[in-house]
Structure 1
Amino acid sequence: MNESFDNGEEKKEEKQSFEKEYILIYNDGNKETVFETVDEIKSKNKSREKTSFPKGLILMMLVLTILVSTISSYVTAKLVLRNVENKTIVIEQPNQNTTSPTVITSDKIDISEVVNNIKDTIVEVYTESTKFSSFYGEYITEGAGSGVIYSSDGYIITNNHVVENATNITVVLTSKEQYKAQIVASDLVSDIAVLKIEAEGLKVATIGDSDQIKVGQMCIAIGNPLGTLGGTVTDGIISALSREITIEGQKMVLLQTNTAISPGNSGGGLFDIAGNLIGIVNAKSAGDYIEGIGFAIPVNYAIDVTKQLIAYGYVEGRPQLGIRGVSIETMQQAWSYSVNNFGVYVLEVIGESAKNAGLKIGDVIVKFDGEEIKSITDLRTVLCNYSAGDIVEIEVVRGQTTLTLILKLEQKK
């Protein structure tokens, strides 16, 4: 009974202990308090709550941290951008016996003022040409290019290929004023043509010196790309000097640039960073994987040709065959002109020397001094090797007969 009573008392005491929120663990029959009482735990938690940071303070500290981080990032970005705008270049030299990097600094280059001073010296050029086809009959083709104002009274430099065979030419100024233009003279070899409009007080391009150009110097092109974007400005550098290339059968020595050049830029100006005209844009290399290769006629050469074209109407020493012809390069073209041979079909005999040599309309030129001729381009290419006054042999096909004619090349006028 005592035993059962004691057990009951023990259980009751355990229950009471539990009710008093004591947590007891028995180990080998002995009581051992391993955990603190709940009251003590609560008391300590309350103490911790009193010493911990309030939630509002934590939130405020978080906001301040984000704000400081943002301001720091902004200031850093501004410093970096300032370096970029000022074109500050830092070159690390880890293998050199130096304690600090080499710093090269140059001022920011803003070409807007330069462009504003030169943009009115460039014009848009629009052409119409009358052509004939046995299938379509007579029809009109349109073209577009650019030009550079050479004199305040309306002389304009452009490319020969822009206005060649044009029957109607319109020049548009940056003010959008339109003028009918006449060809003063043109030169096939240099690809320079001079136009004239009836205007006064035009802004004239300042002529630079292409002999002083260096590879790597900055340049600016202004023109009428695609024939619809007059006044477009692009910039780049001079990539190479005295680049010899062949364009439509003509060997030319040109400036090379990576400035963006597009169809319609031809005849426009290439300027140095001071706004001086250093070239007349005339070509771009096109094709798959080709980008950033444009060409311009050096201004010293272009101006020399321009002066002769205005003064004489031609460039001294240039030879001409004295005919107007068309290429026969396909069977369809041969059928159109009722001939059986490829070469250059004579449309008109305009030179006295050609007439005296016996050239006639309908002849097909197939050889020039032993060189085979298959197109106008071939004929132009071989003419580059001759001068006015040279005597040459020309082989022509007339009907079913092949003839050899002796001709003295004339001064092209």
Structure 2
Amino acid sequence: MDTLAARLGCLAYHGQIAVAMKDQALQAFTRKPKDAVEDMARDRTIMATNALGMGINIPTVRCVIHVEVPQILRDYSQESGRAGRDGQASKAIIIAPSTFQARGWSQWEARCEEGKQAMREYFHSTTCQRAVLDTYLDSYARPDGCTDGEAPCDRCTIHSHRSPVHSPEGMDPWMAQEQQKQTIAQQVQQMRGQQATAMDQLEPTLLQWQHRYAVCYMETTDMAMSMHPIMTYSQPVTAIVQGHIKQITRQIRDQRKYARFSCCFTYGVPQAICQQYEASPHSRWRLIPERQCQFPDVVIPTVISIMHLNPGGCAEIIYAWMKADGVDVEDADHVYTWFGQKIRWSGMEGTRLVEVFYRLSQFVITPASRSPRW
């Protein structure tokens, strides 16, 4: 703490310094500047632990920066809430390494208290961040996100962006490429913001692909003609796809990439759907060893088959989604960890992989034009 404060050239406040030094630092931080020059001085910034936040009401704080991701959402709410207490627009920023979203939560999986789960949901939220806070702190539903008169949160700012206009003929190639990137980015955000609707449709989608092969369906667009498992299909492309399926299945299962309590670990199906599990009064789900998952070899084979053939460039959208979450798409371990992340769909827990399965399925099975319904 002191080393970082010295490197930043600012005050420090934490529990290990003397009371007199705390008082001196706090007075320097809260003192009203005499002029604009003093307002820019270094004592207008302070490096502190949560010891400063307890019971302190400084109305003119404009920005609170967390140098690492807080573990408990209630603590984060109180600490970040020190900014803008005079009602003026202020910022709360979390600094995390680019790999944190893919790996950083695993160390907490064994200690999934409610506050940590809520903080994780807030950090990964694809919908309004104020809604996550209100639900956790006040049990208040905010279905429409940030309202008029509120500065939009990061997620609502993204969702408010309009669709880019289609590029006219003769557009500069660089501009066309940038426009395509914007289109993909918007599709990613639309896709990530539709979890609630998808929950009710997930099991019917699993049923659609049960005993069917995605490669065969995309070649024939006939569900009846595709009614056979991938391992019985003899076309050359199948050998390549089968290799990818076996590799990814092995990596995700054997290396335990599925987050704890996120799904049935054999086939990646949410525990709320997999018949291997039943609700238990003592824990959320209880494994019934003598039962088998009713959707074997559905999720991973379908995802890999569709991404391999890449109809309509849908694979690029998934890769853009990964990059937006800070995943190095060239690092297989990062990708598998991202697939195994636990997410929540309107109360039902699952993995990122099963959400990708659902999104790709909607893209492929869309009638006629196969235009994506992200």
TM-score (norm: length of structure 2): 0.23
More strand by share: 1
For CA contacts below 8 A with separation 6 or more, give which structure has more relative contact order: 2
TM-score (norm: length of structure 1): 0.21
Query: For the pair shown, which has the larger CA radius of gyration, 1 or 2?
Result: 1
More helix by share: 2
